[in-house]
Amino acid sequence: MKTDESRKKMKQNSNSDAKSNSADTQNAGESEILMKGDQAGSLDTLKKVMKFIGRYKILLLLSLILAAVTVVLQLYVPILFGDAIDGIVGKGKVDFGIIRYYGAQIMLLVVISSLATWMMNIINNRLTYRVVRDIRSRAIRQIQVLPLSWLDAHQTGDIVGRVIADADQLSDGLLLGFTQLFSGVVTIAVTLVFMFSKSVVITLFVLVMTPVSFLVAKFISTRSYKMFGKQTQARGRQTALIEEMIGNEKIVKAFGYGARASERFEEINQELQEYSWRAVFFSSLTNPSTRAVNSVIYAFVTLIGAMHILSGRLTVGGLSVLLSYANQYMKPFNDISSVITELQNALSCAARIFALIEAKPQSADPAQELPAAEGKVEIKDLAFSYDKKKPLIEHFKVTAEPGTKVAIVGPTGCGKTTFINLLMRFYDADGGTIDVDGHSIYDVSRHSLRRSYGMVLQDTWLKSGTVRENIAFGKPDATDEEIINAAKEAHSWGFIRRLPKGLDTVIGNDSLSQGQRQLLCITRVMLCLPPMLILDEATSSIDTRTEMQIQNAFDKLMKGRTSFVVAHRLSTIRSADIILVMKDGKIIEQGTHDGLMAKGGFYAQLYNAQFAGVQL
C-alpha cells in the first residue's frame, strides 16, 4: 500500500516526464560550454573571475607590491652571499670584517622579507575570500531570478554543489594563485635583471631554453583542464544523487530502490574515479617534466660558468650567484606549473558557477502593480509546452467571474498543475493571455500578482523557524490574536497548542507530520484572506474527519472569492460553479457537476470510476 509521500512523489514524477526533454536540451548546451577543453575556454573563465577581482584593486596592488618587495629582497641575498664568498681568498686569507658586514645585511633582509611575506599572505587571504564571497552572493541572487524551467532542468544537489563545493575549489585555486603566481612572475623578472648584471651570455642561454618549460606545461595543462571539467561535472551528479537519495529515503525504502540507487552511485563514482585519476595523472606530470628540463638548464649553466672562471671572466662567488639565480629563475616555473594545475581545477569549477550566474533570467518584471483584485480571471487561447516539439496545453479558454469556484479535473499528467503554474506566472505561456480584472498578468509585477492569490498545495512550503513565523509568512505584521483565530478556522490550533512552546516552537523538515504541515499552510492562507484562491489537493494528507471540517472552512473562505480547485476526489468539487475537464492539455468538457453527469461523457466516467471501479 502506497504512503501519502509516495503518492505525492508519483504525482510529481508525472510532470517530470514532460519536462525531461527540455531539461536535456538545457543540460546539453551547458555541457558544451563547460567542456571547452581548449585554452580559449579557460581564458574566458579567467577573464570573468578577473572582473570580480578587479573590485579590489587596492588589495591586488598591495599584494603585488609586497610580492615584489619579498622577491627583490630574497634575490638580493645571493649577491651578498657571493660578495661574502669573494672575501674568502684562500687559506689564512679570510676577511672576517667583510663576512660580518654582509652577514648582518643578510639577516636584516631576511627579517624584512619574512614580514612582507606575512603581510602579503594576509592580504591574499582577504582578497580571495572576498572574491569568492561576491561570486557566491551573485550566484544566490541569480537563483532568485532564474525561471523555474531552469531550476527544474537541474538537480538541487548539483546547484548546491556549484555554490558550495565549486566555490571552495575556486577559493583554494585563487589563494594558491595569488600566493605563488604573483611571486613567481616577479621572481622571474627580477632574477633576469640580476643575472644580466653578472653574465649576459649565461642569461641569454637560460632565456633561450625557457620556452621548453612553457611548451611542456602547456601540453599537459590543456589536457588536465578537460579532465578537471569532467571531474567537476561527475562530482555535481554525485552530489545531486546523494541529496536525492537522503532526502527521499522513505520513498527509496518503500519501493525497494536501495539496490538500484547503489548501482547508480557506483556508476557515477566510477566515472568520478576515472576522471579524477586522469586529471591527477596529467597534472602530476607537469612538475617533474618541468623539473627535468630545468635540471638540464642548471647543468649547462654550471658548465658554461666553469669555463668562464677558467677564462677569468667570472669569479667563484659570481658563479655561485648565477647558480643560485638559475635555480631561483627556474623554480617559479615548477611552482607556476603546479599553480596552473590547481588553477585548471579552479577554473573548471568557476565555469560551472558562471554557467549558473549567466543563465538567462526570467523576463523583466513590469513596474506596474496589480490593483486590489476583485477576482475576474479571463484566459484566452492559452498555449504552453515544456518541450516545444510536444505541445501540452493548447487553445485553453475560460472566464471566471468574481466569486466563481472553478474546479479542474482530469487524469494524471493532463496539465492541471501546469495550468496553476501559469496562473501564478511560475511559467510564462507560449501563447494566449491571462487577464486578472482586465489587466494582463504579463503587464503587472509578479509580486503584486502572487500577493492576490492564496495557495495551498499538496507540496507543503515551510521554512526552518517558529510556528508563528511560518503562519505569518504572508502577513509579517499579524498579531497573535489574528494568528490564533486563523489557526482555529483551519483546525490547526489543537496540535499547535500542544507543542512544547506553542507558536514559539521551532520546527524543521521532520518536526511535524505531513498532515500537520499541510494544516499550517492552510492556516497561512486563512490569515491572509486573499481575493483569489488556488487549492491543489489541499487536503490530501489530512484525515477524513479533519478534512470535512477544513472543507467547511474552505467553503466559508471561498465565498465571494474566485477559487481554482484541483482535485482527484471528485466528490469534493460537486458544488463547483464551473468544472473544467482536462485531457492531454485541452479542455474537453465544461459545466456543472449535474450537467456533466447528465452528458455521460468523460467526466461521468471519471466520477463513476471512483465509486464503481469503472476501467477507463
DSSP state of 177: I
Contact 526, 446 (CB under 8 A): no
Type of residue numbered 516: Q
Type of residue numbered 232: T
Model pLDDT for residues 57-78, shown as the tens digit of each residue: 888 888 888 888 888 887 777 7
Task: Name the nearest CA neighbour of 35 among 48, 22, 45.
Answer: 45
- Whole-angstrom Cα distance, residue 286 to residue 298? 18
Type of residue numbered 393: I
Predicted confidence at residue 95, as pLDDT, reads 66
Q: What is the pTM of this model?
A: 0.61
Model pLDDT for residues 456-465, shown as the tens digit of each residue: 877 777 888 8
Give the CA angle between residues 285, 287, 292 to the nearest 5°: 95
pLDDT at 6 over 50: no
Crossing angle of helices 316-357 and 258-310, rounded to 10°: 150
Predicted confidence at residue 37, as pLDDT, reads 44
Task: Name the nearest CA neighbour of 524 among 615, 607, 455.
Answer: 455
Burial class of residue 14, CB neighbours in 10 A (0-12, 13-18, 19+) = middle
Q: What is the largest CA-CA distance in the chain?
A: 124
Residue 597 host element (H or E): helix 593-599
pLDDT at 540 over 70: no
Cα 435 from chain centre: 35
Across 348-362, average pLDDT: 85
CATH architecture for residues 377-612: 3-Layer(aba) Sandwich (3.40)
DSSP state of 155: -
Banded pLDDT at 484 (limits 50, 70, 90)? very high
CATH architecture for residues 39-357: Up-down Bundle (1.20)
Task: Tell me the C-alpha to C-alpha distance, in Å, between residue 107 and each of 72, 78, 104, 183, 317.
Answer: 15, 12, 5, 21, 19
Q: What three-state secondary structure class fits 456?
A: strand
Task: Name the nearest CA neighbour of 563 among 388, 373, 418.
Answer: 373
Work out whether strand 562-566 and strand 405-409 pair parallel, antiparallel, or are unpaired: parallel
- Whole-angstrom Cα distance, residue 399 to residue 375? 11
Task: Name the nearest CA neighbour of 78 among 50, 122, 109.
Answer: 109
Task: Name the nearest CA neighbour of 430 among 369, 481, 378, 387.
Answer: 387
Instruction: Spell out the residues 6+ positions from residue 162 whose beta carbon is closer than 8 angstroms to its own.
Output: 139, 236, 352, 353, 355, 356
Grid cell of 185 as nine digits? 612572475
Contact 178, 346 (CB under 8 A): no
Banded pLDDT at 161 (limits 50, 70, 90)? confident
pLDDT cut 90: percent of the chain above it:
2
Across 102-116, average pLDDT: 86
Please count the other Cβ atoms lying within 10 Å of the Cβ belonging to residue 528.
17
In the chain, domain spans: 39-357, 377-612
- Whole-angstrom Cα distance, residue 238 to residue 32? 20
Task: Tell me the C-alpha to C-alpha distance, in Å, between residue 149 and each of 7, 414, 437.
Answer: 23, 18, 27
Lowest mean pLDDT among 125-139, 161-175, 338-352, 537-551: 537-551
Could you identify the residue written with the cell 639565480? 325
> What is the torsional sign of CA 496, 499, 501, 507?
negative
Could you identify the residue written with the cell 594558491? 176
Residue 379 host element (H or E): strand 377-384
Q: What three-state secondary structure class fits 394?
A: strand
pLDDT at 222 over 70: no
Return left, alpha or beta for 505; rule: phi > 0 is left, psi -120 to 50 is alpha, else beta: beta
Contact 46, 347 (CB under 8 A): yes
Predicted confidence at residue 115, as pLDDT, reads 92
Residue 233 host element (H or E): helix 200-247
- What number of helices (H) and strands (E) belong to the chain? 21, 14
pLDDT at 19 over 70: no
**Between 517 and 179, whose confidence is greater?**
517
Task: Name the nearest CA neighbour of 405 among 535, 281, 213.
Answer: 535
Across 575-603, average pLDDT: 86
Banded pLDDT at 47 (limits 50, 70, 90)? confident
Contact 438, 376 (CB under 8 A): yes
Render the burial of 571-610: b for 16+ CB within 10 Å, e for the rest.
ebbeebebbbbbbebbbebbbebeebeeeeebbbebbeee
Q: What three-state secondary structure class fits 339?
A: helix
- Rounded to the nearest 5 percent, the helix, strand and coil shares of the chain are 70, 10, 20
pLDDT at 333 over 70: no
Predicted confidence at residue 87, as pLDDT, reads 65
Render the burial of 341-358: b for 16+ CB within 10 Å, e for the rest.
bbbbbbbbbbbbbbbbbe
Banded pLDDT at 225 (limits 50, 70, 90)? low
Burial class of residue 284, CB neighbours in 10 A (0-12, 13-18, 19+) = middle
**Between 312 and 445, whose confidence is greater?**
445
Task: Name the nearest CA neighbour of 428 among 442, 415, 414, 417.
Answer: 442
Contact 565, 407 (CB under 8 A): yes
Residue 481 host element (H or E): helix 480-489
Residue 612 host element (H or E): helix 602-612
Average pLDDT score, the chain: 78
Residue 432 host element (H or E): strand 431-436
